[in-house]
Amino acid sequence: MKQAELEREADAFADRLSELLNGTLCRGLRITAASLPSGYVLVGLGVKKTQVRAQQIPLRGSGARVPLHLTVQYTLHDDDEGEHLMVSSSVLGLCISEDGNRELFHADFERDKADGYPEAHLQVHATSKDWAAFLSDASNDSLNKIHLPAGGRRYRTTLEDMIEFLIAEGAVKPHNGWRDVITKHRADFEERQLRAAIRRNPAVAVAAVVALRSQET
Amino acid sequence: MTHRNVGAFPQNLKGRGNVTKASSRGEKSMSVMDAVRRGPTTVRLSEDDAVRAARLALRDAGYTFDDLVRQAASGDFETIGAQLTWQAVRHIGDPGAE
Residues A26-79 have pLDDT tens digits of 999 999 999 999 999 999 999 999 999 999 999 976 665 788 999 999 999 998
Residues of B with Cβ-Cβ distance to A25 under 8 angstroms:
7
Average pLDDT of the segment spanning A205-210 = 93
**For A180, left (φ over 0), alpha (ψ -120 to 50), or beta?**
alpha
pLDDT in tens, A120-173: 999 999 999 999 999 988 888 889 988 999 998 888 999 999 999 999 999 998
Q: What is the ipTM of this complex?
A: 0.89
* Cβ <8 Å between B43 and A32: yes
Residues of A with Cβ-Cβ distance to B65 under 8 angstroms:
none
Shortest CA distance from B49: residue in chain A: A49
What is the rounded radius of gyration, in angstroms, for the C-alpha atoms of chain B?
18
* Cβ <8 Å between A75 and B87: yes
- State the pLDDT at residue B45: 97
* Cβ <8 Å between A35 and B40: no
Instruction: Indicate which of A2, A9, A24, A42 best probes the interface with B, i.e. most B CBs within 10 Å of its own CB.
Output: A42
- State the pLDDT at residue B84: 95
d(CA B19, CA B36): 10
- State the pLDDT at residue A61: 67
Residues of B with Cβ-Cβ distance to A55 under 8 angstroms:
11
d(CA A187, CA A20): 12
* Cβ <8 Å between B49 and A49: yes
d(CA B53, CA B40): 18
Instruction: Indicate which of B19, B31, B63, B87 best probes the interface with A, i.e. most A CBs within 10 Å of its own CB.
Output: B87
What's the whole-model pTM score?
Answer: 0.85
Give the whole-number percent of chain B exceeding pLDDT 90: 48
Q: Rounded mean pLDDT of chain A?
A: 92
Polymer length in residues for chain B: 98
Q: Rounded mean pLDDT of chain B?
A: 74
> Does A32 contact B at CB distance below 8 Å?
yes
Per-window interface: A 58-87 vs B, CB < 8 A: 58-60, 71, 73, 75
Pick from B93, B15, B14, B95: which is nearest to B56 by CA? Answer: B95
> Does B92 contact A at CB distance below 8 Å?
yes
Quote the distance between the C-alpha of residue A2 and its chain's center.
25
d(CA A165, CA A172): 10
Shortest CA distance from A142: residue in chain B: B76
Q: Name the amino acid, one letter, at A131.
A: W
Q: State the first-to-last Cα distance of chain B, in angstroms, to the nearest integer.
A: 43
Residues of B with Cβ-Cβ distance to A42 under 8 angstroms:
87-88, 91
Distance from CA of A46 to the nearest CA of B (A): 6
Strand ranges for chain B from DSSP E: 42-44
pLDDT for A94 beyond 90: yes
d(CA A47, CA A101): 19
